[in-house]
Amino acid sequence: MKIRRLELGLLGLVLIFLLSLSFNNHPTRDSKGIDINSDQNLNIKPSDYWEMTSPIYIDDSNPSMNWSLTNSSNFWCNGAGTWEDPYIIENITIDGGNNNTGITVANSSVYFLIRNCTIINTGSLAEDSGIKLINVNNSGIIGNTFSDFNQIGIYLKDSCMNNTIYNNSLFEEDPNKSLYGIYLNEKCSNNTIKNNNLQGINRLGGYDAGAIHLKNNCNDNQIINNLVNRSKHGISLNNSCDKNTLFNNSLISNSENGIYLYSHCDKNIIYNNTIDFNKNGIEFGILSDNNNYLEVHNNKLHNNSEYGISISNSRYSKIWKNELYNCGFRIESSNITYHRDLLLSINNTVNGKNVYYYVEEAGLDSTDFFNAGQIILIDCNHTHLANFDFSFCSRGIYISKVADGGNSGSSFNISISNVTLKGNLEGVYSRNSYNISFSNITAKNNSKGIFLFSCSNSSIKNCTLNKNSISGIDMNGCYNINITNNYIQFNLGDGISLSDCDYNKILNNTISNNAYNGILHTLGGINNFIFRNKIIYNNKSGIYLYYSFDSHLTILNNTLSYNLEHGIYFEWDNQDNIISENYIYNNGKSGIFLYDDCNRNNITLNQIHHNGENGIFLNRNIFDGCDENNISLNQVYENTNHGIYIYSSESNIISNNTLYGNDGTGIRIEDDCQNSILIGNIVENANYGIHILDSSDNNVSQNEMVLCGLLLSGTISEMGSHTIDDTNMINQKKLYYYVNQTNLSPNSFMNAGQIIFIQCNDTIVQNVNTSYGSVGVSLYECYNITLNELISSNNRRYGVYLKETENCTLLENSMEYNAFGGIFLYYLCQHNNISRNQINYNLKNGIQMRYSSTNNQILDNNVTQNGEIGIYLHDSSDYCNISNNNIFANSLRGVYIESTSYCQIYHNDFRTNGLNAEDNGTSNFWDNGSLGNYWDDYEGFDNDANGIGDIPYYIPGTANSMDNFPIWSIPSPIVDGGDDSSGYDEDDTPYEIAFGLIIIGCLIAAGLIASYYALHVYSNRHPANIGKKKFREEPLLDPLKKEKEVSESEIKDDSPSQLSEFNSEKEAQKELKSIVEEYEQYSPIKRESYQLPRRFEKIYKDTLNENPLIKTYLESDISVDDIPDGDKLVTTILDDEELRKIDKIKLSRDEKKIFLKEIISMNKKDRKNLLNELLNNLD
């Protein structure tokens, strides 16, 4: 083994002798320092010679850890520590197990080499490293491999000198590891870092350091021929690292800078480097730094994404013969003397063209910029630039005024025209300048097309600014800039961005298809004017005002449409602005949206329509609403939600607006909105004209609502706190709003269009029509109110609405065609009586009770053909009585009970409902112990002929309820009123009924009278089943009718004597036709065919079997004798003689259908008498 060690020693002497030939030629190196020429063959052994798991620690100042002991104790260490025979640690693999440092050498001045070692998985403490040298001179770290190091690959600290770091490989694939590749700290000087390969170092950038990083007075080092790739910075120098040389390095694809100097790093030389595909190629600090006396030359900087060379506050530096491609220069300073003292030669090139850097020049023109690739003008004036192409040069044109020790410089009277700017960070950047004119500029695919910072009295006109990645025009702190007649389109940020800008004008521009907002106005700025622009198809809002304080912005006469969010959007603390005379339509959200502390704005004279949410929307955040705004004289129509929506904001004035066709509410005031004034608005055709919800103390007057009305929601005290007078009109009739009133007289409801009672008592409302509003009559916490002979139909919500109301009577009213329901008892409505009402054709429910609305009586009503449920009780609406009602042809359920108990339902007539009844409550009774209900789908029998079915009728639902005494035959009239010619079977009809029919026939007179009778009775008694293929039976139990249809005033004045005064059959037929046309006009439902009454089913079947003569009579205009034989049989029970008599009346096809379907329910004797009487009158 000793012989082997001797051989290794001799080999080391030979290598050192050869290396010394080149070391002595380095001009800045100590003659005894270790260095390695890059092209020398070292013949290094493979590194797996020894494998170790324990770290190596050598401290030459400690006898127990010094080189001598280490050399004598370990086979992997050889040498004597001299120039001729250095100590050598080689061929070791060290796995640190994510702890500590692999190899540490401290306080050493002997000569040693660490080479061909592999060091992995070192620790994560601040100074854990692969190899760490502390106060070490004369070492060589050569040919080692480092990976998976958590902090530092190679670390030299505390006055390490004359060391060589050569040909090492440092790789890190984990972006969360490796803060430094090679790190020199604290006065490490005269070292050489050469031919190293560093990949993926500090990629996430936890520290502002390069893969090769020098810090704190590390001077006179040589950084040569290294490759740094995919790191944060390639090479960085920080804090007074001077006189270093960076030569021939390749710095590629680093996320920040290729070379980065900051904090007073002076007299460094940077030359012959290749610096590509970084963010910046070379950056010299920020404006607070001074990095002076630098020499930067002959570097190649290609395709760096921001700047090739970026210089801030550098004095006495020299920049020459650098080649920049697809990037350019950034030169900035806070003092003009720095610009004066900077040498930036014209022989620098950008894209093969010259770089022009002028300081304090005047009278320049285009001839002074031959073959210009980039122009930088510092404190220049009276300059004209035209007809240039500055593309892919980072900053095409830079114009700046710079202060001189507190004195103002000058940069003014510069015109730039007919210039193409493409692919730059900023196409044009003007700073602290004034009287600058930009015209006919095309700026495309830059980050910012034109960027103005603290500029004034300038103009941008007739420019095209497209597809820039941040904004077309970006202005910060600018004053009195006119932006006119530009096309600003398809930018990937905002079209125009203004930050803290005053008195600027944006006129007549087309601003479209930008990925953010058309115009962004933010962070202060006052008295800007946005006028007559076309702002369309932007992916956010047309105009976005953010945190601009008391901005006094005027937005006038612009078109804002097809923006994906809002037309105009104010957010957070924007006061005292004017939005007027704009056309705002087809935006994806609201036309105008004010959010969070936007106060005292005037929104007037705008046309706002077809927006995807609200026309105008004021909203608050957690703390602040939008208060004291004036919204007046706007036309707001056909927006998807509300016309004007005020949420949790106070003291706003909403006046003289016209709102129509908005899908939600015309004006909605919600959630603690107080002291607002709603005056003089016209609201048409909305679900609710005005809806005030959970708010108090608002004033509503002189508003006109058409086909809609006023809706109040919230607590009783909130709803009763408003001031609402009778100057408000509903369909040209008065809105009555009464709070805490008793014994109101009939004069209190004269010409009523809508009535709202809050805590009112002991009042009768009679003979009023509250139709075509939102809710006809509303009762909140009322007692002993009677509604009698009221018509409340065709309302957007309910005919009558009750909440917390007791002992009220709804008698002989008509509630039909209401969108939500006829009558709704919402909450704690008790002991109310709903009797003898017509509750038909409502789009949802006829009568609905909810939330503990108990002990109510529903008696003697017609509840027919409602779109969902006839009578709906749910949520503990207990102890109610439903009896003596006609419940016909409701689409889903006749009666539906859910979560409700102890109700009694009996002596009702259920026919042709989707499902006659369903009971999902508990302990409800469907008979009174002796009599139940009539069910048209009852499938039982009555063998004892007592009129009661012999088996129960089972009610569908979870309650498993049943009607134990279902009515078998048609009962006596459940609801008294109207004719009931169909109440009894043919064989037992009394003579009085027949006589009565004859008298009716005589009074009607003539063929006209017969048809009139059929039409009138039909229109009042037989509306068709809405939307059902199976049509209901003709009701056998005629209800009491109190209808007041549009045609009634004309019909009721026609006495029999008047109707009989026709001189000829032709005259009678003419009048008949007129009446039929009038009937069809005012009838809300088209009349279709009927099923036969149940008692004629057997006769009908016999007719089909025994008399196939009639085939298509009821569907044709032909006479009975012309009916051909065939297989299509039409329902009839009339014989041929009766049909021939009908032919003589000569009715049209439609008239004939109506007439036939009316008389078919008569018995044969009555029918014969009536026909004979009619024919006698015609003769």
Domain boundaries, the chain: 1-28+49-195+203-225+234-240, 256-350, 526-730, 783-963, 991-1178
The answer to whether 907 and 933 are in contact (CB under 8 A) is yes
- Rounded Cα–Cα distance for residues 785 and 749 (Å): 13
At 1169, is the pLDDT very low, low, confident or very high (cuts 50, 70, 90)? confident
Rg (CA), the chain: 48
- Look at residue 9 and tell me whether its pLDDT is greater than 70: no
- Look at residue 1170 and tell me whether its pLDDT is greater than 50: yes
601: left (phi over 0), alpha (psi -120 to 50) or beta: beta
Q: In what order do the strands lie in the sheet with 809-811?
A: 761-766, 783-788, 809-811, 833-835, 857-859, 881-883, 904-906
- Look at residue 43 and tell me whether its pLDDT is greater than 80: no
Least confident of 444-453, 877-886, 1118-1127: 1118-1127
CATH superfamily, domain at 526-730: Single-stranded right-handed beta-helix, Pectin lyase-like (2.160.20.10)
What pLDDT sits at residue 991?
A: 32
Q: What is the mean pLDDT of residues 451-455?
A: 96
State which of 108-117, 1041-1050, 1051-1060 shows the largest mean pLDDT. 108-117
DSSP string, 754-774: EEEEES-EEEEEES-B--SSS
- Look at residue 1158 and tell me whether its pLDDT is greater than 50: yes
Three-state SS at 569: strand
- Look at residue 662 and tell me whether its pLDDT is greater than 80: yes
What pLDDT sits at residue 500?
A: 96
Q: What is the pLDDT of residues 341-362, one digit of tens each?
A: 999 999 999 999 999 999 999 9
What pLDDT sits at residue 897?
A: 98
Q: What is the pLDDT of residues 964-998, one digit of tens each?
A: 999 998 655 556 543 333 333 333 333 333 333 33
State which of 159-173, 192-206, 280-294 shows the largest mean pLDDT. 159-173
- Look at residue 735 and tell me whether its pLDDT is greater than 50: yes
At 567, is the pLDDT very low, low, confident or very high (cuts 50, 70, 90)? very high
What pLDDT sits at residue 1039?
A: 34
Q: In what order do the strands lie in the sheet with 862-864?
A: 814-816, 838-840, 862-864, 886-888, 909-911, 934-935
- Rounded Cα–Cα distance for residues 780 and 1122 (Å): 65
Q: What is the pLDDT of residues 240-291, one digit of tens each?
A: 999 999 999 999 999 999 999 998 999 999 999 999 999 999 998 775 678 8
pTM: 0.75
Q: What is the mean pLDDT of residues 708-712?
A: 96
Q: Shortest CA distance to 206 belongs to which of 178, 186, 248?
A: 178
- Look at residue 64 and tell me whether its pLDDT is greater than 60: yes
- Look at residue 1018 and tell me whether its pLDDT is greater than 60: no
**526-730 and 783-963 agree in CATH topology:** yes
Higher pLDDT, 98 or 1179: 98
What pLDDT sits at residue 1093?
A: 35
Helix, strand, coil percentages for the chain (3-state, nearest 5): 15, 40, 50
Average pLDDT score, the chain:
84
Which residues does 945 contact at the CB level (< 8 Å), separation at least 6?
none
What pLDDT sits at residue 1151?
A: 65
| Yes or no: domain 783-963 corresponds to CATH 2.60.40.1840 | no
The number of CA neighbours under 13 Å toward the Cβ of 159 is 4
Q: What is the pLDDT of residues 286-328, one digit of tens each?
A: 756 788 999 999 999 999 999 999 999 899 999 999 999 999 9
What pLDDT sits at residue 1136?
A: 66
